[in-house]
Amino acid sequence: MIMSDLKGKIWMDGKLVEWSDAKIHVLTHTLHYGTGVFEGVRAYETSDGPAIFRLEDHTNRLFESAKLIGMQIPYDAKELNDAQSQVVKINNLKNAYIRPMCFYGSEGMGLRADNLKVHTIIAAWDWGSYLGDDKILNGIKVKVTDFPKRSEKSMLHKAKASGNYLYSMLALKDALNSGYDEALILDIDDNVNEGSGENFFTIINNTIHTPKDATVLNGITRQTVMKIARDLNYRVEETNISVDDVKSSDEAFFTGTAAEVTPIIQVDNVKINDGKPGEITKKIQKIYFDLIRGKVDEYSSWLTQV
Ligand SMILES: *Cc1c(COP(=O)(O)O)cnc(C)c1O
């Protein structure tokens, strides 16, 4: 799938444009310096048509990310929420991955450049399981990567900012080159941090552990899964987790809008739960898959019908 060859309409600075016309200049500031913020949002088919999952929370995080990098988005949350619904609808999508993004234009080059215009785009397309249907069912193998490491002192990882993904890509490449499906990134104290674009959970003696939100991108799926788990009466602890904790754990999984709830069945050369997705992981995954499709009434307030 070549992204720029897809058909449909993209919302660009307040207007719907043809997919092939949604272009920018090569001297676009963000292309050179990673000075952008974005979101990954999904819509799923429900019995009442497509619904966007936790739309407002995603849009609020986009504004928070922009604030962290000192960018002023020239729209308000309602305009961006409406635009996201609009792109799903106009492209006749039942299930969609939605990508809002804000970036600086080509008015100036150099880090000092001022008077840069903030542009906003929203694209949406049909995208299946991020790691593949087989992986989401049967689990993935992850490699512990010690380069690069994340630090609590650098708050920038709180922003879903383009430049951060250079690090994520290096970590992922390291894992893929070694035959694994994903990277497990560490922090500077060698605690487990997160995946290249997913939050991490591990289950030890029926207690669900996840790294503290100070050092990770506080994922909306992470928050969703913590709520599901607590509603099921599991203890959820935000705590430091060592690599050894994970290797001796009962279960582990990743969460993210793209990755949804993906079981982890191996860490380095150590199998978790004999190389099979764990029972608690599967239980949480099932509820997550049901609720995003509007099948669980108590969580229906998280859905926005388009
Ligand atoms: C987007 C992202 C996540 C997952 O966040 P969600 O809100 O659940 O999609 C986790 N880690 C990183 C680094 C991310 O970019």
pLDDT in tens, the chain (306 residues): 899 999 999 999 999 999 999 999 999 999 999 999 999 999 999 999 999 999 999 999 999 999 999 999 999 999 999 999 999 999 999 999 999 999 999 999 999 888 999 999 999 999 888 888 899 999 999 999 977 777 777 778 889 999 999 989 999 999 999 999 999 999 989 999 999 999 999 999 999 999 998 889 999 999 999 999 999 999 999 999 999 999 999 999 999 999 999 999 999 999 999 999 999 999 999 999 999 999 999 999 999 999
User: How much is the pLDDT for 128?
Assistant: 84
pLDDT value at position 305?
Answer: 97
Give the CB-side neighbour count of residue 239, counting CA atoms within 13 A. Answer: 13
Residue among 153, 165, 252 at smallest CA distance from 207: 252
**Cβ–ligand 1 contact at 84 (below 6 Å):** no
Closest to 43 in 3D by CA, of 121, 125, 102? 125
pLDDT of residue 304: 98
Say if ligand 1 is within 6 A of residue 40 CB. Answer: yes
257 lines ligand 1 (CB under 6 A): yes
**Residue having the nearest C-alpha atom to atom 6 of ligand 1:** 219
Phi-psi region of 200 (alpha: psi -120 to 50; beta: other; left: phi over 0): beta
Identify the three-state secondary structure at position 259.
coil
pLDDT of residue 154: 75
Residue 227 CB neighbour total at 10 angstroms: 14
For the entire predicted model, the pTM comes to 0.96
For atom 10 of ligand 1, the residue with the nearest CA is 198
Angle between helices 77-90 and 55-68 (to 10 degrees): 130
In whole angstroms, give the CA distance from residue 85 to residue 141: 35
- Atom 12 in ligand 1: residue holding the nearest Cα: 197
> Residue 228: CB within 6 Å of ligand 1?
no
3-class DSSP assignment, residue 126: coil
